[in-house]
């Protein structure tokens, strides 16, 4: 198995479940024996908050990687999360202030090598680390940090809310960004699948959404496993936990375990071989 498959969770729409999916998928992959690194590129820092004990004082973060690249190594920034076998490269709100200077310095580079700073730091590091997966949580826009993340990744998972999965054009625009970057700066980038989230079993909307999305994007482009809507997600979040740490047997947890199994299968072949 090739080490360090990088998966970016991205949708420019807010609140669809990117951070929840990133951290729960990481936890579910770890429970299946994988070593996972989460990279939080969102200055809202939700993935960081869900991963680190409230008492943790973040000494160094993605901010330092971008602000002081010569003096900061990934080894000193990455820390263990609350979940066994899940590490995190944390973020801090201050990173937002770096956006203008990153934009200016990238604008002076040739088109084909723009916005590769995260890739050029992370990919060489992964070659000499033991992570099986790197999951990147992104902010709800198509700005600087999202482009940096997409230029680093092998795959993108797009979480979609079941009842807004009908705004196909919005999703197509998001997916066009993938095609655009693939041609320009990251030929490795692929859409892994759309992930239909917040499905209410009492309505048929989840299944209808999956059918519509498959018609628009292809059968292979949508996870058949949907994530149920459940107040347990908010309850877990209010305790700064993954749903898997909160209640491993609930429907939401089982759904993420199944998603992790499918990711392992798709990215690494038969899980029993790994």
Ligand X SMILES: Nc1ncnc2c1ncn2[C@@H]1O[C@H](COP(=O)(O)OP(=O)(O)OP(=O)(O)O)[C@@H](O)[C@H]1O
Q: How many CA atoms lie within 13 A of 234 on its CB side?
A: 5
Residue 70 CB contacts under 8 Å (≥ 6 apart), including other chains: none
Among Mg ion, ligand X, none, what does residue 206 contact (CB within 5–8 Å per kind)? none
| Stretch 178-197: interaction string toward ligand X, x if CB under 6 A | -------------------x
Q: Report the residue number, 4 or 42, with the smaller CB distance to ligand X.
A: 42
Task: State the minimum distance, in angstroms, from the CB of residue 19 to Mg ion.
Answer: 3
C-alpha–C-alpha distance, residues 119 and 100, integer Å: 19
What separation in angstroms does the CA of 132 have from each of 85, 108, 142? 10, 34, 27
What is residue 228's DSSP assignment?
B
Stretch that binds ligand X, among 18-26, 58-66, 163-171, 257-265 (CB under 6 A): 18-26
Which of positions 139-158 make contact with ligand X (CB under 6 A)?
139-140
Classify residue 128 as exposed, middle or buried by CB count within 10 Å of its CB (0-12, 13-18, 19+). exposed
The Cα 133–Cα 153 span in angstroms is: 11
Of 1 and 239, which has the nearer Cβ to ligand X? 239
DSSP state of 199: B
Binding mask 5-44 for Mg ion (x = CB under 5 A): -------------xx-------------------------
Interaction between residue 14 and ligand X (CB under 6 A): yes
Contact residues for ligand X, defined by CB under 6 A: 14-20, 42, 44, 46, 139-140, 197-198, 227, 229-230, 233-234, 237, 252
Contact residues for Mg ion, defined by CB under 5 A: 18-19, 46
């Amino acid at each position: 198995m090739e080490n360090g498959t990088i998966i970016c969770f991205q949708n420019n729409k807010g609140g669809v479940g990117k951070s929840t999916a990133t951290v729960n998928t990481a936890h579910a992959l770890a429970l299946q024996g994988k070593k996972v690194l989460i990279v939080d590129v969102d200055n809202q820092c939700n993935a960081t908050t869900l991963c680190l004990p409230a008492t943790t004082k973040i000494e160094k973060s993605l901010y330092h990687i971008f602000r002081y690249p010569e003096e900061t190594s990934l080894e000193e920034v990455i820390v263990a999360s609350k979940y066994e076998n899940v590490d995190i490269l944390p973020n801090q709100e201050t990173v937002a202030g770096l956006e203008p200077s990153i934009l200016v310095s990238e604008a002076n580079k040739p088109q084909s090598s723009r916005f590769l700073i995260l890739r050029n730091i992370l990919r060489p590091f992964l070659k000499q680390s033991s992570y099986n997966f790197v999951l990147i949580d992104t902010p709800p826009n198509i700005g600087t940090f999202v482009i940096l993340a997409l230029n680093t990744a092998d795959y993108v998972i797009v979480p979609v809310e079941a009842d807004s999965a009908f705004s196909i054009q919005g999703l197509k625009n998001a997916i066009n960004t993938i095609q655009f970057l693939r041609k320009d700066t990251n030929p490795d980038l692929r859409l892994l699948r759309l992930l239909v989230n917040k499905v209410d079993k009492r309505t048929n909307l989840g299944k209808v959404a999956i059918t519509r999305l498959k018609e628009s994007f292809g059968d292979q482009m949508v996870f058949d496993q949907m994530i149920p809507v459940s107040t347990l997600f908010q309850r877990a979040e209010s305790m700064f936990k993954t749903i898997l740490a909160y209640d491993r047997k609930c429907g939401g947890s089982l759904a993420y375990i199944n998603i992790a199994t499918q990711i392992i299968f798709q990215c690494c072949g038969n899980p029993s071989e790994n």
